Amino acid sequence: SAQLDAESCTYFENGPFSDVTAAAMMDDSAPNIAAEPGAYTITLPTAEVGYVAFDSPDDTEYTVFTDRDVALAAFDPSGEQFPAASMTTGSATCALIQGRQIIELPVGLFYFALGPDEGTVTLVLLPYSPD
């Protein structure tokens, strides 16, 4: 939604920013992120997939925004992938948005796999509520 794009754009511009380093594996070493106001600056492992953990509090759809067009996928701890219901690059509302995925997740622990890429990617995770 344009409203959600605009909200995420504010976080890309103004934060608050949390710096995390993505883990090389889907395990306890993956830093936790949350679906709340703000942005995560995620340092990715060089030329490998990096993982961050997300403990989904609700059975709902989430929107994952990134400031670079980086491959992103959601997995549960057993390795089952939860495919995106919708995926776009770019936003008419905000030039800072280079990737947007809407992913439905049940309650529980999940991992977002980012990359393979390198450097940093800024990520905003928000619950998706249709207009």
> What was the pLDDT predicted at 3?
92
Cα angle 49, 9, 19; round to 5: 45
Per DSSP, 125 falls in state E
Read off the pTM.
0.95
pLDDT (tens digit, 9 = 90+) per residue, 65-106?
999 999 999 999 999 999 999 999 999 999 999 999 999 999
Q: What is the pLDDT of residues 4-45, one digit of tens each?
A: 999 999 999 999 999 999 999 999 999 999 999 999 999 999
Q: What is the 3-state secondary structure (H, E, C) of 65-78?
A: EECCCCCEEEECCC
- The β-bridge relationship of strands 60-66 and 72-75 is unpaired
State residue 131's pLDDT score.
45
